[in-house]
Homo-oligomer: A and B are copies of this chain.
Amino acid sequence: MTHNTKDYGNLMRERGFRVTPQRQLILDVICASGNHTTPEAIYKRVQAKFPSVNLATIYRNLDFLCELRLVVATQIGRKMYYEIAGESPHHHLVCRNCNKIEQIDHTNMKTLFNKVEREQDFTVDMDHITLFGLCAKCRQKTRRV
């Protein structure tokens, strides 16, 4: 239950939720998978260790873990992807043409968030945003068509 540096068990209990074997397994699997895993993939890996876990439980807990901010979600194309929420937020750039995924540092985002907070008195609070556009290579290709 203690992955990376976080004690997930306590983070849940502190907030009044229960720590079930299903939740532990799902977290373990997402952790082990590294980056951007689909519900279906998570389900299969969970089942390999504990076949009786139901797919509905996977979906419910992915929602749950996202609400607790222990896991972050992204939609790319028509699929959802989940990954462990790291120590510090990170964001993505996805190329509409070649689907390459780059990262953006949080500091650039933070600058925007601060501006919005000053100007509109709204505290933006997102630790995993995906921005779409064109990577350097595809921009050149696309120009000359």
Residues of A within 8 A of B (CB): 75, 93, 95-96, 102, 104, 108-109, 111-113, 115-116, 119-126, 129, 131-136, 139
Given contacts A125-B134, A131-B126, contact A93 B75 (CB under 8 A): no
Docked Cα-Cα span, A129 to B93, in Å, equals 13
Q: Which residues of the partner chain B approach A104 to less than 8 Å between Cβ atoms?
A: 116, 120
Dominant SS among interface residues on chain A: mixed
Asked whether A133 lies within 8 Å of B125 as measured between CB atoms, the reply is yes
Q: Which residues of the partner chain B approach A126 to less than 8 Å between Cβ atoms?
A: 131-133
Nearest CB of chain B from residue A58's CB, rounded to whole Å: 15
Asked whether B134 lies within 8 Å of A122 as measured between CB atoms, the reply is yes
Asked whether A122 lies within 8 Å of B108 as measured between CB atoms, the reply is no
Asked whether A133 lies within 8 Å of B139 as measured between CB atoms, the reply is no
Q: Which residues of the partner chain B approach A123 to less than 8 Å between Cβ atoms?
A: 133-134, 139
Nearest CB of chain B from residue A124's CB, rounded to whole Å: 4
Partner of A96, one of B120, B125, B129: B125
